[in-house]
């Protein structure tokens, strides 16, 4: 089959690779109809991880079941399904507690697995014609038949639940004000989720005009952090209080306010300033324990200088970690199916698989409006 | 009246000061029968804060109502009451949400007030014969008449609820394993609270043999951090997993494992190593945004180097801040009254007020078993 | 001052009564600008309670502070405020736990107090020019100055929080389906709240076409229970499952499906049929322990025949009781102030106080579109 | 193999039946070492259900894995495991939400499955030498090797989690007072669980002196309901307030206070009287939608006369339904393994499988101290 293969820094090709096959009775094989390029794919693409050439990318996958392992009980040939980016077993201590992003079974020696990602287990990515899905009864979420809402449902694999997870980590409740740092796809999904959960006002902080415009479109208040200190801008709009809650949808590759270059803790520290005492921070944005491209030695080991004194004085709570997609994808699917949510407003391109190399290049350079790309292998 | 007055670094005297009086119709005056010396009093005593000479110390107060303001409705002369160390109004946004440690009314310009503490509002301390209590209907918790359980109830003002708060912040649930760093009074109260909440096993990390022995007495597993890396010791006792939850009962004046001198983030980083993926950390231990005695410039501004990368990878949650005593003191009182809890095991000394200077000196130097001192002004 | 006085069954008059005055240092006097007639006022109006002639009605009150007791600390002459229908102290065991509808202080011998209501304590109603508010710092919620959103804010006294409370009792979460029985003002507020909380679909059950049309306007699915069994209609629209959650916004004066006359448990039992296994029911609709007008002797004592066997088999949870308005009114106010909510769509009439007698008559007979009336004493 | 077979009302025999075998790749076969007789087995034994002769009883099963299906990934021959009485798939909507007692997969057309129970699916009971366990990775909970704590662990299949579930449904929190109705095995487990969760005082209501003595042994206050109205007795011991929470561990075969014969709603209504306003009731005790032996026609259809008016006035919450054992059994296992819990105090007899007929007879007649029997097929 055809698949997107990593060839080395800044290079992917669409190549022939072996077809996946049923390896375990609980597997299914899915014919992929939609598979998104994720911001986190770019970490590998840019050569900023330990990923070796040859890996097939793709952890945001939706498709139609082609083949069913003999132990699978509730799935059938032809079912349309979307898979969380996390691979999970469904029965370990963490899965049972709802922490399916930290499964103890699928990636021995580490808590958590994923498709097509370095160090996340032996699961080939889905930017390809077919995908093997383990523990299929658990990992497949059934979708309505047909092709309706395809782009919306594709976002259930990762960024819609990840944005929602940011709100869950921050315990966003009806009536609250929320500051979301980052207006990339995850930040926009976090802002959108905050609205769906009843936030009375959502601020979205970024510096890219197009992204801020997108935030405004969904009812959020755009905050351009190049214009003035974003914490101050938000305090000014909340009677000097600060927001009730905050979401970090940026992570360690943050740009500081009023500086050049990466400042890995810039967003965390800005949130400590932004959120009012007794508030909470949700951190779905990625931080890593080892970063070869870090600006300094400590950051290279994931050690960041954080305003702990102020954070404690304010009595803030902080929730972190990658999304447990399985915990949210059913209810978010139902919101899409019943017309309550339409997250595909973030999708900028839907392209055939063969255009993957070009799409990676443009998405990485953030040119020509490449904000969120869906590849359509079956198109 | 007689009161403990701060005279300057390492010096307090018991002196005559003006009697407190009703200043507002919602005040009461309490004749203090028990008032504890707190570890946080030592920050001021050691001259490591902005506290000016002349301040009357004492925020852990219990006594009998002597005089009642005309607007007070449920308290009467002769009622035995204990007061949270936090002064709170009961009706602001934060108090209503249960965050009485962050009251917006009682200390304008700051979220939170306390008795006898620098920068915590105009509330004279209770290491004295009498104490003025504002918003008395809200701040006084009634106790059974008489003198029974006096030492237990006195701990309701601060350290029992503060230890319990550590467990609440870490969301300690029945059956879980919990690592408590610090076996001082708050650490022991946290460990004791974890047991009361049904933890299956509690580890207490310290290096002082007497403290570790105390932890063992209440059913915890003592971990001497000078013997080996404490995170490793705890992983060894939890099938390599690490503990489900962790509590930092030390704060910024932490001693690092295998080093000399203070390492402000030592306990936080040890907890990141100790707690298993998906776990949670409760941080009642104090961190401050300005520390004149800090080991380096960043720490002086409350900026600490924290293992954010690993914390995120593990998906940990962190809760911080001083205890909202009012949220817990009623249920903890009932546990004492019904014989379910007996926290006074941490009390080492009960002394007349006149011996305060000597008690401060010995408690500060941690000599002669001075672990927790209650002054008895009316004795 | 002028006030709405109960004269006997089906009769109220607007009469001169003594002005309220500060009785306690924590009181304020409010000049009432908006005061709603509530469905529960009709219980008294119809003579179906123990209310004696002479009582001044009105528990849904909004106005401007005219006079301030000397112990009040955060309110000033001229502040615009809205008061929960529940009178509460703010410091008893129940208030501290957030159950301000069950205050133990303000109505000795009973858990809960209210303005202008039989057996709810000595608090004169606010369908009058002025109102005395006890424990004013606690009971008054400040509003933005001016007259903007007056009708929306007036609903914060009762029906908006009461509808929201129904969702809270049923634990309505984003993405869920919710069945609300009753499309009166509280039912519509419950449906509206469910939407604000992110419900994917809301069904509203009633038989009055105008009410069902109103439900449809706010995005709910109208279910006419005279057309077919409502539980069946809802199962048909949820793949045979039933709704995730249910709200009873009707109470004991329910009309059964396919019958004439009151069937006090009709809605409860319909909800047991409607909600799927593992679901939850919120019951803000009123049930009473003594009903002189009940259809049978058991119902007269509040004993109703309920499908407990089926309820248990489905593992349903049930939350009941009058709303703790204080728990919700701040966040709902913020939703109104920031343009996120506009509950006044239920208001049919805004009338001068002098037209109260006519308004009661028409509202009681549900004629001429009288669905929710606000009296404007200061107009 | 040998198994306990139902022969008709009041008759079971130990007979030869076919050995179970792997029917699906996710199955395992367990050699049963401990299997308890449950109070709910007696419903079938007494002929009070639709159970047909021939059914093999036994849903509280512990044993050692004998054979492993080819799709099973984490279990091996020789592993000691205990199974929840509920059979569950682990991936349906209800299982994912933690409601494993209401699995939608294993018993088509009904929410929930179990071993050896009428209408609960095609799962042969475990009062036998061997047991087939479907979805084995999900349904088996691993235990420490060997035979230590065998009786304690056996109770993890049902009654310990069921008692704990009662506390969970009632949201029992540290410091609260709890009234448990029923001092049978489930009631004692509920009382014991309440203690483990930090309740300050637990009342246990029954009339059998031996049971009440057992309650007292574990630190509860025994309340003999034949001596006086139990609600009154409990109010007298709680300053007239009533208990904070209540658990119904009796169900529909309740005996009323001061009466003869069954009164199906007696305990529910007693709890409404017993629990204080704002409290909560947990109802793990069984209620059924059809009872051929009911005292009246309504009760026969599961319709009971309940004090809804008073329940609403008090604002009580009610949680019902059979336990989701999988949600609790891991943490309860850990409490046993670490010496924090020792539930086997309720076990009166451990007998060879061959004595099952006699054990059923005596347990049903509650003679000779038969309170909880464990059969040991491998003994």
- pLDDT of residue A202 exceeding 90, the answer is yes
Predicted local confidence at residue A379, as pLDDT = 59
Residue D201 at interface with chain B, using a CB cutoff of 8 Å = yes
Predicted local confidence at residue D221, as pLDDT = 98
Short-list C44, C32, C42, C50, CA closest to C127: C32
As given in the structure block, the two tokens for residue A22 are 């049923």
> Which residues in chain D have Cβ-Cβ distances shorter than 8 Å to C264?
308
Predicted local confidence at residue C133, as pLDDT = 98
At B378, is the pLDDT very low, low, confident or very high (cuts 50, 70, 90)?
confident
Q: Does C175 sit within 8 Å of A334, measured CB to CB? A: yes
3-class DSSP string for chain D: CEEEEEEECCEEEEEECCCCCCCCCCCEEEEEEEEECCHHHHHHHCCCCCCCCCCECCCEEEEEEEEECCCCCCCCCCCEEEECCEECCCCCHHHHCCCHHHCCCCCCCCCCEECCCCCCCCCCCCCECEEEECCHHHHCEECCCCCCCHHHHHHHHCHHHHHHHHHHHCCCCCCCEEEEECCCHHHHHHHHHHHHCCCCEEEEEECCHHHHHHHHHCCCEEEECCCCCHHHHHHHCCCCCCEEEEEECCCCCCECCCCCCECCCHHHHHHHHHEEEEEEEEECCCCCCCCCCCCCHHHHCCCEEECHHHHHHCCCEEEECCCCHHHHHHHHHHHHHCCCCCHHHHCCEEEEHHHHHHHHHHHHHCCCCCCCEEEECCC
Q: C183: which strand partners?
A: none
Residue C73 has its nearest CB partner, among B98, B105, B330, at B105
Q: Does B330 sit within 8 Å of D174, measured CB to CB? A: no
Please, are residues D29 and D22 in contact by the beta-carbon 8 Å criterion?
A: yes
Q: Does D74 sit within 8 Å of A71, measured CB to CB? A: no
- pLDDT of residue A257 exceeding 90, the answer is no
pLDDT digits (tens, 9 = 90+) for A333-358: 999 999 999 999 999 999 999 999 99
Predicted local confidence at residue D143, as pLDDT = 98
Residue D315 at interface with chain B, using a CB cutoff of 8 Å = no
pLDDT digits (tens, 9 = 90+) for B320-364: 999 999 999 999 999 999 999 999 999 999 999 999 999 999 999
Range of weakest confidence among C246-255, D27-36, D177-186: C246-255
pLDDT digits (tens, 9 = 90+) for B45-101: 998 888 999 999 999 999 999 999 999 999 999 999 999 999 999 999 999 999 999
Task: State whether the Cα torsion C172-C175-C181-C183 is positive or negative.
Answer: positive
**What's the mean pLDDT in C305-309?**
97
Q: Does A309 sit within 8 Å of B302, measured CB to CB? A: yes
Cα dist. C197→A190, B96, C285, D101 in Å?
16, 21, 20, 28
> Which residues in chain C have Cβ-Cβ distances shorter than 8 Å to A176?
331, 334
- Of residues A48 and B184, more confidently modeled: B184
Please, are residues B8 and B24 in contact by the beta-carbon 8 Å criterion?
A: no
At C81, is the pLDDT very low, low, confident or very high (cuts 50, 70, 90)?
very high
To test the contact with chain C by mutation, choose from A98, A141, A197, A340 the residue with the greatest count of C C-beta atoms within 10 A, namely A340
**What's the mean pLDDT in C162-169?**
98
Q: Does B91 sit within 8 Å of C90, measured CB to CB? A: yes
At D259, is the pLDDT very low, low, confident or very high (cuts 50, 70, 90)?
low
Residue D109 at interface with chain B, using a CB cutoff of 8 Å = no
C258 exposed, middle or buried (CB, 10 Å; 0-12, 13-18, 19+)?
exposed
Residues in Cβ contact with A261 at an 8 Å cutoff, skipping those fewer than 6 apart: A255, A295
Range of weakest confidence among A192-206, A213-227, A254-268, C127-141: A254-268
First and final C-alpha spacing in chain D? 14
Predicted local confidence at residue C247, as pLDDT = 98
Residue C25 at interface with chain B, using a CB cutoff of 8 Å = yes
Task: State whether the Cα torsion A17-A22-A24-A30 is positive or negative.
Answer: positive
Short-list D56, D49, D18, CA closest to D119: D49
- Distance, in angstroms, between C342 CA and closest chain A CA? 12
Range of weakest confidence among A176-180, C208-212, C257-261, C269-273: C257-261
Q: A residues 345-374 near D, CB within 8 Å?
A: none
Q: D16: which strand partners?
A: D2
Distance of alpha carbon D370 from alpha carbon D311, whole angstroms: 36
Distance of alpha carbon B266 from alpha carbon B273, whole angstroms: 11
- Other beta carbons less than 10 A from residue C261's beta carbon: 7
Residue B305 has its nearest CB partner, among A305, A315, A319, at A305
Predicted local confidence at residue C369, as pLDDT = 85
Please, are residues D288 and D303 in contact by the beta-carbon 8 Å criterion?
A: no
Identify the DSSP state of C276: E
Cα dist. A281→A247, A271, B292 in Å?
6, 7, 28
Range of weakest confidence among A285-294, C178-187, C327-336, D277-286: A285-294
At A247, is the pLDDT very low, low, confident or very high (cuts 50, 70, 90)?
very high
Number of H helices, E strands in chain C: 13, 18
Distance of alpha carbon C184 from alpha carbon D241, whole angstroms: 35
**What's the mean pLDDT in C63-71?**
98
Largest CA distance in chain A: 61
Residue D331 has its nearest CB partner, among B176, B196, B332, at B176
Identify the DSSP state of C262: B
Distance of alpha carbon B195 from alpha carbon B199, whole angstroms: 5
Q: Does A26 sit within 8 Å of D91, measured CB to CB? A: no
Please, are residues B155 and B346 in contact by the beta-carbon 8 Å criterion?
A: yes
- Distance, in angstroms, between D326 CA and closest chain A CA? 9
Question: H or E segment at A326?
Answer: helix A325-337
To test the contact with chain C by mutation, choose from D114, D246, D308 the residue with the greatest count of C C-beta atoms within 10 A, namely D308
3-class DSSP string for C134-193: CCHHHHCEECCCCCCCHHHHHHHHCHHHHHHHHHHHCCCCCCCEEEEECCCHHHHHHHHH
Residue D173 at interface with chain B, using a CB cutoff of 8 Å = yes
> Please, what is the Cα angle at B114 between B112 and B118, to 5 degrees?
95
- Other beta carbons less than 10 A from residue C59's beta carbon: 26
> Which residues in chain B have Cβ-Cβ distances shorter than 8 Å to D337?
200
How distant is the alpha carbon of residue B176 from its chain centre? 23
Please, are residues A286 and B312 in contact by the beta-carbon 8 Å criterion?
A: yes
At B253, is the pLDDT very low, low, confident or very high (cuts 50, 70, 90)?
confident
Residues in Cβ contact with A307 at an 8 Å cutoff, skipping those fewer than 6 apart: A269, A272, A273, B289, B301, B302, B303
Residue C309 at interface with chain D, using a CB cutoff of 8 Å = yes
Percent of chain A at pLDDT > 90 equals 92
Distance of alpha carbon C42 from alpha carbon C364, whole angstroms: 7
Distance of alpha carbon C357 from alpha carbon A374, whole angstroms: 64
Distance of alpha carbon A349 from alpha carbon A347, whole angstroms: 6
To test the contact with chain B by mutation, choose from D175, D193, D332, D343 the residue with the greatest count of B C-beta atoms within 10 A, namely D175
CA dihedral D294, D296, D297, D300 (to 10 degrees): -20
As given in the structure block, the two tokens for residue C114 are 């209210």
- Of residues C339 and A253, more confidently modeled: C339
Residue B198 has its nearest CB partner, among D175, D198, D337, at D198
Q: Does A335 sit within 8 Å of C198, measured CB to CB? A: yes
Q: D34: which strand partners?
A: D62
- Other beta carbons less than 10 A from residue A215's beta carbon: 24
To test the contact with chain B by mutation, choose from A102, A312, A321, A325 the residue with the greatest count of B C-beta atoms within 10 A, namely A312
Predicted local confidence at residue C258, as pLDDT = 67
Residue B97 at interface with chain A, using a CB cutoff of 8 Å = yes
At A259, is the pLDDT very low, low, confident or very high (cuts 50, 70, 90)?
low
CA dihedral B256, B260, B264, B267 (to 10 degrees): 10
Predicted local confidence at residue C259, as pLDDT = 66
Residues in Cβ contact with D239 at an 8 Å cutoff, skipping those fewer than 6 apart: none
pTM of whole model > 0.95?
yes
Cα dist. B317→A68, A170, A280, B247 in Å?
38, 10, 11, 12
> Which residues in chain B have Cβ-Cβ distances shorter than 8 Å to D198?
196-198, 335, 340
Mean per-residue pLDDT over chain C, rounded = 96
- pLDDT of residue A368 exceeding 80, the answer is no
**3-class SS of residue C315:** coil
> Which residues in chain C have Cβ-Cβ distances shorter than 8 Å to D97?
278
> Which residues in chain A have Cβ-Cβ distances shorter than 8 Å to B289?
307, 309-310, 313
- Distance, in angstroms, between C287 CA and closest chain D CA? 5
Question: H or E segment at A327?
Answer: helix A325-337
- pLDDT of residue D367 exceeding 90, the answer is no
DSSP H stretches of helix in chain B:
39-45, 93-96, 136-139, 150-154, 159-169, 185-196, 209-217, 230-236, 266-274, 297-300, 308-313, 329-337, 356-365
Distance of alpha carbon B168 from alpha carbon B170, whole angstroms: 5
Residue A71 has its nearest CB partner, among D26, D89, D96, at D26
Short-list C6, C114, C1, CA closest to C54: C6
Residue B96 at interface with chain C, using a CB cutoff of 8 Å = yes
Residue B315 has its nearest CB partner, among A99, A268, A306, at A99
Calculate Rg over the CA atoms of chain B. Answer: 20
Percent of chain B at pLDDT > 70 equals 99
Question: H or E segment at A181?
Answer: strand A177-181
- Distance, in angstroms, between D68 CA and closest chain A CA? 13
B16 exposed, middle or buried (CB, 10 Å; 0-12, 13-18, 19+)?
exposed
Distance of alpha carbon A252 from alpha carbon A320, whole angstroms: 13
Question: H or E segment at C335?
Answer: helix C329-337
* HSE (side-chain half, CA atoms, 13 Å) at C267: 29
Residue A175 has its nearest CB partner, among C173, C198, C335, at C335
Predicted local confidence at residue B261, as pLDDT = 80
Predicted local confidence at residue B48, as pLDDT = 82
Residue B90 has its nearest CB partner, among C24, C69, C138, at C138
Chain A CA closest to residue C173:
A197
pLDDT digits (tens, 9 = 90+) for A131-174: 999 999 999 999 999 999 999 999 999 999 999 999 999 999 99
Residues in Cβ contact with A48 at an 8 Å cutoff, skipping those fewer than 6 apart: A291, A292, A293
- Distance, in angstroms, between B348 CA and closest chain C CA? 32
Chain D partners (3+ C-beta pairs within 8 A): A, B, C
To test the contact with chain A by mutation, choose from B114, B302, B315 the residue with the greatest count of A C-beta atoms within 10 A, namely B315
pLDDT digits (tens, 9 = 90+) for D149-184: 999 999 999 999 999 999 999 999 999 999 999 999
Predicted local confidence at residue A271, as pLDDT = 98
**What's the mean pLDDT in C90-99?**
98
Residue B340 at interface with chain D, using a CB cutoff of 8 Å = yes
Chain A CA closest to residue C177:
A334
**What's the mean pLDDT in C308-324?**
98
């Amino acid at each position: 089959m055809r698949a997107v293969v990593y060839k080395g820094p800044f290079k992917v090709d669409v190549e022939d690779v072996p077809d996946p096959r049923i390896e375990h009775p609980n597997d299914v094989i899915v014919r992929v109809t939609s598979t998104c390029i994720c911001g986190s794919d770019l970490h590998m693409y840019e050569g900023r991880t330990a990923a070796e050439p040859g890996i097939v990318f793709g952890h945001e996958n939706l498709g139609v079941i082609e083949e069913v392992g003999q132990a699978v009980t509730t799935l059938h040939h032809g079912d349309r399904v979307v898979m969380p980016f996390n691979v999970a077993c469904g029965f370990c201590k963490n899965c049972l507690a709802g922490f399916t992003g930290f499964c103890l079974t699928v990636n021995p020696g580490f808590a958590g697995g994923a498709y097509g990602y370095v160090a996340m287990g032996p699961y080939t990515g889905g930017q390809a014609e077919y995908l093997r899905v383990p523990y299929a009864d658990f990992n497949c979420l059934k979708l309505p038949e047909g092709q309706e809402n395809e782009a919306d449902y594709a976002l259930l694999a990762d960024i819609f639940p990840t944005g929602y997870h940011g709100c869950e980590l921050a315990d966003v409740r009806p009536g609250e004000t929320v500051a979301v740092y980052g207006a990339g796809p995850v930040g926009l999904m976090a802002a959108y989720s905050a609205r769906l959960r009843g936030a009375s006002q959502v601020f979205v902080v970024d510096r890219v005009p197009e992204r801020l415009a997108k935030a405004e479109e969904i009812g959020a208040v755009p905050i351009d952090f190049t214009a003035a200190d974003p914490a101050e801008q938000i305090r000014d709009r909340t009677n000097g209080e600060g927001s009730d809650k905050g979401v970090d949808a940026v992570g360690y590759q943050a740009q500081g306010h009023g500086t050049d270059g990466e400042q890995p803790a810039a967003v965390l520290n800005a949130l400590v300033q932004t959120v009012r005492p007794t508030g909470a921070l949700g951190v779905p944005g990625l931080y890593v324990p080892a970063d070869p491209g870090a600006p300094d030695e400590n950051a290279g080991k994931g050690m960041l200088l954080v305003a702990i004194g102020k954070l404690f004085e304010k009595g803030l709570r902080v929730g972190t970690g990658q999304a447990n997609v399985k915990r949210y994808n059913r209810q978010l699917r139902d919101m899409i199916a019943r017309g309550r949510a339409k997250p595909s407003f973030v999708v900028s391109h839907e392209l055939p698989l063969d255009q993957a190399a070009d799409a990676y290049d443009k998405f990485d350079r953030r040119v020509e409006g490449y904000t969120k790309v869906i590849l359509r292998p079956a198109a």
